[in-house]
Amino acid sequence: MSERRPFPRRALLRCCAALLPVALAWPAWSDERSVQQILQAADAVRNPPGSFSVRLQLTEYRQGRQSANSVLIVYARPSPDSGQYRNLVQFVAPARDAGKLMLRNGADLWFYDPSSRASVRISPQQRLLGQASNGDVMTTQLARDYRAELIGREPLKDGEGVQRDSLHLRLSALREDVSYARVDLWVDAVDDRPLMARYYSAEDRLLKTAYFRRYETALGRTRPSETVIIDGLDSGWVTVMRSSEQVLREVPEAWLQRDYLPRFRAQ
């Protein structure tokens, strides 16, 4: 009987070295795009390219009972310099707020009240209605304001109660003037749809959780038509933001200037 020869140690080491990257990569996500490109793709699902307008209805619920309602029209136009959206928000309802305006141009956010004909600087973190802040109703490109890292690939139950294969992204603010210091965002691993987000303060306190749901076809692709926003401390305090009448349109440069606010008329 022939003598069994031991497997060469050097060959064994080479074999292990070759298999190590495969072992480390499994079951890791294998998309060749960068994490920042995934965030850009998720932005494109939420926002159409170019200038547009959209109607938003915000409804606040306390322990299941409707407590407030507001209707806005948002006009959005990307900046030629930064690519970030500039916004003019027109208040439509309730009647006491009709005609009021908010303007965001770069880092500046202004509120205009036609009764006083005065515009005052405000914060994007300030509450607008319920859990929706001023910054929440503005059109934004998250990839312009945040640095993204991939936390992992995770199963997630979306806002419709359906189990999804998702990518968990952690977004860190690049500047202090953005609405949230940190955002945890889950996007569909197949089609980049935003599914859920958690928003945190600079002190790392959970402020709110949002579910993006009721996807419908709008301006050439499927987009979320409803966002459900839940308070970080009181899960019974919920704000539902519904979008409709999304239209590509020219948003004049003049509308996005603070001096023009007293002259703006409902379109």
CATH code at position 217: 2.50.20.10
Q: Residue 226: CB partners within 8 Å, gap ≥ 6?
A: 159, 212, 213, 214, 240, 241, 242, 243
Residue 149 lies in a domain: yes
Q: Is 214 a member of any domain? A: yes
- Is residue 28 a part of any domain in this protein? no
Q: What pLDDT, on a 0 to 100 scale, did the predictor assign at position 17?
A: 46
Non-local CB neighbours of 168 within 8 Å, separated by 6+ positions: 150, 151, 152, 153, 154, 184, 185, 186
pLDDT for residue 4? 43
Domain-embedded: residue 1:
no
- Residue 8 falls within a domain, yes or no? no
CA of 110: how far to CAs of 30, 107, 120, 132, 241, in Å? 44, 10, 5, 17, 22
Domain that holds residue 86: 35-263
- The 10s digit of each residue's pLDDT in 119-140 is 999 999 898 988 899 999 999 9
Q: 251 vs 108, 128, 243, CA distance in Å?
A: 18, 23, 18
Nearest C-alpha neighbor of 126 from the set 118, 115, 136: 136
- Let me know: does 55 contact 64? Beta carbons within 8 Å: no
From the list 85, 62, 43, the residue with the least C-alpha distance to 183 is: 43
How far apart CA 139 and CA 44 sit, in angstroms, is 11
Number of domains in the chain: 1
Cβ 200 vs Cβ 180: under 8 Å: yes
Per-residue pLDDT of 136-175, as tens digits, reads: 999 999 999 999 999 999 999 999 999 999 999 999 999 8
Q: What is the mean pLDDT of each run of 10 residues along the chain (267 residues)?
A: 46 43 42 92 94 97 96 95 92 96 93 94 90 92 96 96 97 92 97 97 96 95 97 96 96 95 86
The residue among 72, 100, 124, 67 whose CA lies nearest residue 239 is 67
Tell me whether residue 26 is in a domain.
no
Classify residue 108: in a domain, yes or no. Answer: yes
Whole-number pLDDT of residue 267: 63
Report how far residue 9's alpha carbon sits from residue 44's, in angstroms, rounded to the nearest whole number.
53
**pTM to 2 decimal places:** 0.85
Residue 59, in any domain of the structure: yes
